[in-house]
Amino acid sequence: MSADPNTKPANPATPVAGTLAVVVGPSGAGKDTLMNLAARHFAGRPDVHFVRRVITRDGDAGNEDHRSVSDADFDAMEHAGAFAVSWDAHGLKYGIPADVFDELARGHLVIANGSRSALHHFQAAFPRLKVINITASREVLAERLMARGRESREDVLKRLERSTLTLQGSYDVADIDNSGTLEEAERAIISVLKALIGK
């Protein structure tokens, strides 16, 4: 393990030839939807892999196919080195399985659902990292968040006031604005991913 308890370095005996693309963005930007569309587009490609995250939440919660585990099981997995990257957010624990290093060693493209607050962990773990930042205008984000019905208008506006739509840090970033049509954003993320595999 490295000095950072949330990262697991690649095996130095195994060159990391592939790229890890981590998709991030604020709530309401449509990150999960775009990742699902991209996964459907690249289905059947043996050199493109979408990570199934390990999360301490119910398996039916959210719009993401993930492996649901208890806090105790997550901690045990983390202690055993089962994660390439792990982090906490919004009262939940998230982990990227360490077997992504096997796919990267084969020169493949791996796409993971990440978090802006955890990007420094990803940068420490993956020598070849591409950040795909899904954004939308504050007006669009507010409309989408209020449409979910989970928060009041006041709570949504307060959340947006506290948040920033720009990334802090030095990363290789592709920004995708999902304020317009979903088809436009879908084409954009597929184009970015195709460029990373050269096809």
| pLDDT 10s digits, 67-80 | 899 999 999 999 99
Q: Is residue 125 assigned to a domain?
A: yes
User: Where do we find the tokens 């802006």?
Assistant: 116
Q: Is residue 4 assigned to a domain?
A: no
Confidence of residue 3 (pLDDT cuts 50, 70, 90): very low
∠ CA 44-50-55, rounded to 5°: 140
As for how many domains the chain has, the answer is 1
Q: Is residue 1 assigned to a domain?
A: no
pLDDT of 152 reads 67
Mean pLDDT for the stretch of residues 86-91: 89
Residue 74: which CATH number?
Answer: 3.40.50.300
Confidence of residue 103 (pLDDT cuts 50, 70, 90): very high
Kindly give the interhelix angle for 153-162 and 138-148, rounded to the nearest 10 degrees: 140
Q: Is residue 78 assigned to a domain?
A: yes
Q: Is residue 8 assigned to a domain?
A: no
Domain extent at residue 169: 19-197
DSSP-assigned letter for residue 140? H
Q: Is residue 7 assigned to a domain?
A: no
d(CA 44, CA 131): 23
Please check the confidence at residue 53 and state whether its pLDDT lies above 70: yes
DSSP-assigned letter for residue 147? H
Q: Is residue 26 assigned to a domain?
A: yes
Amino acid type, 34: L
Q: Is residue 9 assigned to a domain?
A: no
